[in-house]
Amino acid sequence: MCSLAEEQGFETFRHAYRAAIKEVRTKIEILSEDFAVRHDYNPIHHMERRLKSPDSIEEKLERYGKEISIASAKENILDIAGIRVVCNFIDDVYAIADMLMEQNDIELVTKKDYIKNPKENGYRSLHLVLSVPVFLLNGCENVPVEVQIRTVAMDFWASLEHQLRYKKGKTLPKKVDCELKACAESSASLDVRMQRLFDEIYKSD
């Protein structure tokens, strides 16, 4: 059986997801700039984008017990294309999400709010899967893009937690797990305090 990357049409398949990332990223940049013009404040700290590698797509399909094919990847994996939006404050996260979902050519596929309902390990972020139309030579195709929106503090914790957890490739001791979750709680508390300070400074004018 050939690998996913060797299947005919794979580069065309990947191109649609790259194009979808550009579409959503451009929308976010325009919305952010418009917000900054209207409110004299930019809610976005920075953005990152990611396109899953062929090996990563194959691994996920195998984990799901699905066929390794382009058609199967399209049907079963919603995060082949991904954008991470890192915001300054908690309210900014929901403002960006609302602005995106108000776009009349974007369809919300799934929404998972790990800020209001953190994962067991303390992870926090707002995950949206958005279906965006991509216009190619053979017509229009709706392509899913996962958008993760989080604060600087949430991103700081998630990045370092991932590095610590997967650096050694083995299960961490319970004590370390507890420490990491405690750090997540401290980070969340700091986020709330910083939001309160922002509100006092900017919303009192």
Number of Cβ within 10 Å of residue 74's Cβ equals: 16
Cα 199 from chain centroid (whole Å): 26
pLDDT for 203 equals 74
pLDDT for 163 equals 86
| Residue linked to tokens 């996962």 | 146
SS3 content of the chain, % helix, strand, coil (to 5): 55, 20, 25
Least confident of 2-6, 82-86, 110-114: 2-6
Same domain, 31 and 46: yes
Same domain, 87 and 104: yes
Same domain, 139 and 47: yes
Least confident of 39-53, 60-74, 123-137, 160-174: 160-174
Cα 203 from chain centroid (whole Å): 29
Same domain, 82 and 110: yes
pLDDT for 204 equals 66
In sequence order, the β-bridge partners of residue 85 are: 47, 149
Distance from C-alpha of 158 to C-alpha of 181, rounded to nearest angstrom: 11
pLDDT for 109 equals 97
- Is residue 170's pLDDT more than 70? no
Q: What is the CATH number of the domain that holds 45?
A: 3.30.460.10
Same domain, 50 and 129: yes
The 3-state DSSP class for residue 133 equals strand
Distance from C-alpha of 35 to C-alpha of 28, rounded to nearest angstrom: 10
- Is residue 156's pLDDT more than 70? yes
Same domain, 147 and 161: no
Question: With contact defined as beta carbons under 8 Å apart, do 149 and 128 qualify?
Answer: yes
Q: Which of 87, 93, 9 is nearest to 48 (CA)?
A: 87
Question: Over the stretch 88-111, which tens digit does the pLDDT of each residue have?
Answer: 999 999 999 999 999 999 999 999
Same domain, 87 and 182: no
Question: Over the stretch 51-84, which tens digit does the pLDDT of each residue have?
Answer: 999 999 999 999 999 999 999 999 999 999 999 9
Q: Which of 79, 88, 92 is nearest to 128 (CA)?
A: 79
Is the Cα torsion angle 146, 92, 44, 158 positive or negative in sign?
negative
Same domain, 64 and 109: yes
Distance from C-alpha of 162 to C-alpha of 178, rounded to nearest angstrom: 15
- Is residue 19's pLDDT more than 90? yes
Question: Over the stretch 183-198, which tens digit does the pLDDT of each residue have?
Answer: 999 999 999 999 999 9
Q: How is residue 168 written in tokens? A: 């050694």
pLDDT for 174 equals 87
Same domain, 86 and 182: no
Hey, which residues are catalytic here?
A: 146
Q: Give the domain extent around 149.
A: 4-153
Same domain, 107 and 9: yes
Question: Over the stretch 128-150, which tens digit does the pLDDT of each residue have?
Answer: 999 999 998 888 999 999 999 99
Same domain, 91 and 192: no
Q: How many domains does the chain have?
A: 2
Same domain, 88 and 172: no
